[in-house]
Amino acid sequence: MAPAATSGNGVRAPAAAQPLIEVRDLKKHFPIVKGIFARPAGTVHAVDGVSFHIDPGETLGLVGESGCGKSTVGRTVLKLLDPTAGTITVRGEDITAHDAQQMLPYRRQMQMIYQDPYASLNPRMSAGEIVGEPLAIHQAATGGERRERVAALFERVGLRPELMDHYPHEFSGGQRQRIGIARALALSPELVVGDEPVSALDVSIQAQIINLLMDLQDEFKLSYLFVAHDLAVVEHLSHRVAVMYLGRIVELTDKTTLFETPLHPYTEALLSAVPIPKYSARNRKRVILKGDVPSPINPPKGCHFHTRCLYATARCREEAPQLREVAADHLAACHLHDDGIKLPLGNGAAQNT
């Protein structure tokens, strides 16, 4: 298990004897059907065997380009989607095959914050009803008590309780995301999955929401799975970071190590495209990726990244690299490490063959 790491606010995630959640070789494939007889016409390999854990009070950032499967991971971990294969364990209990009834207690413990705060809020419900709905569904509070708890949640996320009777369209984007956060907190969850929760917001509002999420983590000892494409946001919020490419995790370590010493060519390219000033001291060349992410319907054989990798060899085109520990608490899936290629990359030392 990874050691405690330091987040952007300097708070260390506590070391844990047992992870809050552990995911092993998780796969989520979507069948494609065609015609009125719904004939099978292929499979989208959205998530293709990912493994990670999240400790209590820890934030794991899950980063990658659009379509890499990171949002599907978030939804599958919460069992909003049924996994195709693999296991999901919460505090040591395997919930992979749990039905809706068995999932009820876990629904309380695991909540989600969505990307688009407007689309995710029911426009026909008042903000107070939206935040109080989980309390009603789980019969956690009724009548006056529910309204009091909703008012307290409003205050905690920075909204005036007088706004409880207003409707989503009467709020700004940032306020709507605060409503979504208050709703996610209503049942005192342990894990919150944030699916690009700030990417639809203005930059100034993003900072407020990120700070709110970090304060709430400290106060309620929350664990976050934070799904995002924005490296700066992930860097600010995360203790550890997993980098995804075409359905697979290609690198996973604590955030400082990842940003200072990336050990996967894809991570290196991502970081070089969006340098973060405090990590830019290293002599890192700009790495420009060619082409687009291949389709998850027909992912490339071998290493999924070989069609865009500067360092790809014949082996990469045939054999998928395993995610393994290549330095202390630093996992990467790349054959370079078997071949003793010196790091850092991006120095032109290796070429396509």
**253 by DSSP, 3-state: which?**
strand
Q: Are 115 and 188 in contact (CB under 8 A)?
A: no
Q: How far is the CB of 336 from ligand SF4 (least distance, A)?
A: 5
Of 279, 330, 247, 292, give the one whose Cα is nearest residue 64: 247
Q: How far is the CB of 250 from ligand SF4 (least distance, A)?
A: 7
Closest to ligand SF4 by CB, 229 vs 335, is 335
263 near ligand SF4, judged by CB under 6 A: no
In order, the DSSP letters of 121-172 are S-TTS-HHHHHHHHHHHTT---HHHHHHHHHHHHHHTT--GGGGGS-GGGS-
Q: How far is the CB of 326 from ligand SF4 (least distance, A)?
A: 11
For the record, the structure tokens of 39 come out as 């004939």
Of 199, 174, 197, 183, give the one whose Cα is nearest residue 126: 183
321 near ligand SF4, judged by CB under 6 A: yes
Stretch that binds ligand SF4, among 13-21, 73-81, 141-149, 330-338 (CB under 6 A): 330-338
Distance of CA 301 to the CA centre of its chain: 25
The residues in 125-154 that bind ligand SF4, with binding defined as CB under 6 A, are none
- Interface pick for ligand SF4 out of 265, 296, 299, 346 (rule CB under 6 A): 265
Give the contact letters, 214-253, x = binds to ligand SF4 (CB under 6 A), - = no: ----------------------------------------
316 near ligand SF4, judged by CB under 6 A: yes
For the record, the structure tokens of 72 come out as 């599907």
Q: How far is the CB of 255 from ligand SF4 (least distance, A)?
A: 21
The residues in 163-202 that bind ligand SF4, with binding defined as CB under 6 A, are none
Q: Are 263 and 330 in contact (CB under 8 A)?
A: yes
303 near ligand SF4, judged by CB under 6 A: yes
The answer for residues whose C-beta is within 8 angstroms of residue 148's C-beta and 6 or more apart is: none
Cα separation, 27 vs 298, whole angstroms: 15
The answer for residues whose C-beta is within 8 angstroms of residue 213's C-beta and 6 or more apart is: 181, 194, 197, 224, 237
Q: How far is the CB of 31 from ligand SF4 (least distance, A)?
A: 28
Alpha helices in 2-43 (DSSP H): none
Q: How far is the CB of 289 from ligand SF4 (least distance, A)?
A: 11
- Interface pick for ligand SF4 out of 293, 326, 336, 343 (rule CB under 6 A): 336
Cis, bond preceding 134 (omega within 30 deg of 0): no
334 near ligand SF4, judged by CB under 6 A: yes
Q: Rounded to the nearest 5 degrees, what angle is found at the Cα of 226, between the Cα atoms of 73 and 186?
A: 100
68 near ligand SF4, judged by CB under 6 A: no
Stretch that binds ligand SF4, among 115-123, 210-218, 273-281, 309-317 (CB under 6 A): 309-317
- Interface pick for ligand SF4 out of 311, 326, 331, 343 (rule CB under 6 A): 311
Rule CB under 6 A: which residues touch ligand SF4? 265, 303, 305-306, 309, 311-312, 316, 321, 334-336
